[in-house]
């Protein structure tokens, strides 16, 4: 593999309304040697960044989310109009915007305070994508690089980005102010609204209860019982005869039982019938 040092330094535009945050990022970038980064400009707002980008080019935007005026998400959405769209890495103190960021095809989402190793990992990914773009000799990254078919759920855990393939998600379950994202091998915690995910995943996931959204392919059985809270714990699935009255579905791979509200019983039955 060709070493990243053979590439010219990545040209970066820093966009953050806080001068101290931009200064810290400059300091961190100076410590990154593989790949190297040259800060070609700074902007304290989205409008300043847009004005600079009208007459200049860069490879990378290190972009804050919450700023006066248009936020960073709005700025990122306008980049498609550029002849060559720069790669975007969001740098923010607000992890709850990660889903929107990846909808805008951001390459990474770093939470403040940014650790050097996380920044380094993000830059390596940018450099790899930049090499691919240059090797294909295309101007538009949308044309040069096919988008990944596999959808992911971006989750920020302890400052680390975890990209969970949507195909691996068995269910989303609301727990207080957070969502549990369950796969066959792990549980992840995600900030967000179950209603938002229901709209986004309509057709593939089924709302079975006010607090649960289950992959249709993961629904294995419907029975006239409903799990108690203990049935959702890490101690393992509760036996069906230990559950109370009501309706529940058994989730494939993990064999956990989730409560079904009465109004959703018919929809679950239909999902089982169609999937049979």
pLDDT tens digits, one per residue of 187-246 = 998 888 899 899 889 889 999 999 999 999 899 889 986 444 434 444 344 444 444 458
Strand residue runs (E) in the chain = 10-15, 37-43, 60-63, 87-92, 108-111, 152-157, 160-165, 171-175, 178-182, 187-191, 205-209, 212-215, 219-223, 247-251, 256-260
Place of tokens 């403040």: 112
- Is residue 199 classed exposed, middle or buried when 0-12, 13-18 and 19+ CB atoms within 10 A define those classes? exposed
Q: What CATH number belongs to 169-275?
A: 2.40.50.1020
pLDDT tens digits, one per residue of 33-74 = 889 999 999 999 999 999 999 889 999 999 999 998 999 999
The pLDDT-based confidence of 258 (bands split at 50, 70, 90) is very high
Given the candidates 1.10.645.10, 3.20.20.70, 3.40.50.2300, 3.30.565.10, the CATH classification of the domain at 4-149 is 3.40.50.2300
- pLDDT at residue 260, rounded to an integer: 93
Q: What percent of the chain is modeled with pLDDT above 90?
A: 45
Mean pLDDT of 252-272: 90
> What is the pTM for the complete model shown?
0.53
Instruction: Tell me the domain boundaries of the chain.
Output: 4-149, 169-275
């Amino acid at each position: 593999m060709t070493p990243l040092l053979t590439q010219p330094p990545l040209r970066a535009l820093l966009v953050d309304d806080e001068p101290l945050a931009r200064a810290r990022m400059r300091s961190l970038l100076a410590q990154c040697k593989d790949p190297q980064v040259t800060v070609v400009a700074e902007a304290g707002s989205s409008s300043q960044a847009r004005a600079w980008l009208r007459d200049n080019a860069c490879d990378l935007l290190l972009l804050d989310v919450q700023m006066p005026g248009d936020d960073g998400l709005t700025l990122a959405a306008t980049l498609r109009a550029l002849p060559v769209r720069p790669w975007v890495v969001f740098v923010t103190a607000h992890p709850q915007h990660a889903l929107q960021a990846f909808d805008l095809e951001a390459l990474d989402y770093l939470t403040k305070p940014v650790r050097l190793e996380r920044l380094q990992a993000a830059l390596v990914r940018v450099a790899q994508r930049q090499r691919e773009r240059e090797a294909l000799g295309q101007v538009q990254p949308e044309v040069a690089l096919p988008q990944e078919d596999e959808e992911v759920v971006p989750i920020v855990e302890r400052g680390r980005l975890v990209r969970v393939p949507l195909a691996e998600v068995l269910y989303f379950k609301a727990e207080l102010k957070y969502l549990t994202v369950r796969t066959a091998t792990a549980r992840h915690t995600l900030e967000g609204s179950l209603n938002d995910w229901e709209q986004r995943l309509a057709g593939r996931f089924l709302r079975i209860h006010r607090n649960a959204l289950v992959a249709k392919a993961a629904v294995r059985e419907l029975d006239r019982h409903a799990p108690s809270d203990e049935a959702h714990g890490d101690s393992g699935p509760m036996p069906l005869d230990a559950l109370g009255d009501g309706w529940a579905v058994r989730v494939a791979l993990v064999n956990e039982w989730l409560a079904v509200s009465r109004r959703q019983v018919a929809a679950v039955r239909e999902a089982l019938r169609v999937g049979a």
